[in-house]
Amino acid sequence: MKRAGYDLLLFTSKGGDGEGRKIYPSGANRLRLADGAILFGQEPDKSELTRLAAEEFPFVTIGRREISAGEISYIAADYATATQDMVAHCAEQGHERIAYLGEPEAREQHLDRERGYWAGLEAAGLVQRHDWLLRLAPGEIDGARLARLRGQGVTALLTESAAHAEAAEAALAGLGLAVPRDLSIGVLAAPMEDRPEFRRWTRIRIPREEMGEAAVGALLDLRAERTASPVQRVLPCTLQPSETVQPPPR
């Protein structure tokens, strides 16, 4: 932004109603203080994005976002392809029955992963069962559910987040089981911070810095009218194999 001659203004405060950050906290667009905006966060208010687009205010979201009234600009990670790659990696290790564990409320990024899961199973010719796709908060993951999956022949589990993976491992430990000895786990994300202890997990690397840089470039193009709106780009993720996906027990 500095090289392009713009100042950077951060909005980090939440509204007073406890409902999270608001673009229109009192009915007025507080982003009007700026020439344009880059929006990020997992829970944007779709009605506010719709209103912002209707005002023709230039903005780009980090993460794919959809609104009912047309399209908006975004820079997103290619979670669908990354998830399909993870399924293929598990299949190469010999896993034939792979389950999926994700967030209770599926937003765009979760649905992209889910789409990649089904596409990966189909491409590898593996068993597809809808009851093997579970949507639970990390605190709801218990040994009984994982034991039921293992009883159905599941040998690998894909999780949408690091928190889901760690909760699943803890639940397995309560049963006297271990990752990957008794169940392999591949994580379809990575923590924001680079925790050394997390590097043992087979995971995907999300191109967060690249997405931020691309979002700035897209916003500058919109401001200068160098491109037609909306700008929609999807950047590749990287599969990072590690210890937690191994061949299934025989």
Per-domain boundaries in the chain: 30-77+206-236, 79-205
Mean pLDDT of 156-184: 97
How would residue 224 be classed by pLDDT, with cut points 50, 70 and 90?
confident
Q: Which CATH superfamily is domain 30-77+206-236 in?
A: Response regulator (3.40.50.2300)
Whether residue 239 is predicted with pLDDT greater than 60 in this model: the reply is yes
How would residue 7 be classed by pLDDT, with cut points 50, 70 and 90?
low
Mean pLDDT of 237-246: 97
Residue range 60-90, pLDDT digits in tens: 999 999 888 888 999 999 999 999 999 999 9
Percent of the chain with pLDDT over 70: 85
Q: What's this model's pTM, rounded to 2 decimal places?
A: 0.86
- With tokens 């829970």, the residue in question is 43
Second-level CATH architecture of 79-205: 3-Layer(aba) Sandwich (3.40)
Q: What is the pLDDT of residue 226?
A: 79
How would residue 193 be classed by pLDDT, with cut points 50, 70 and 90?
confident
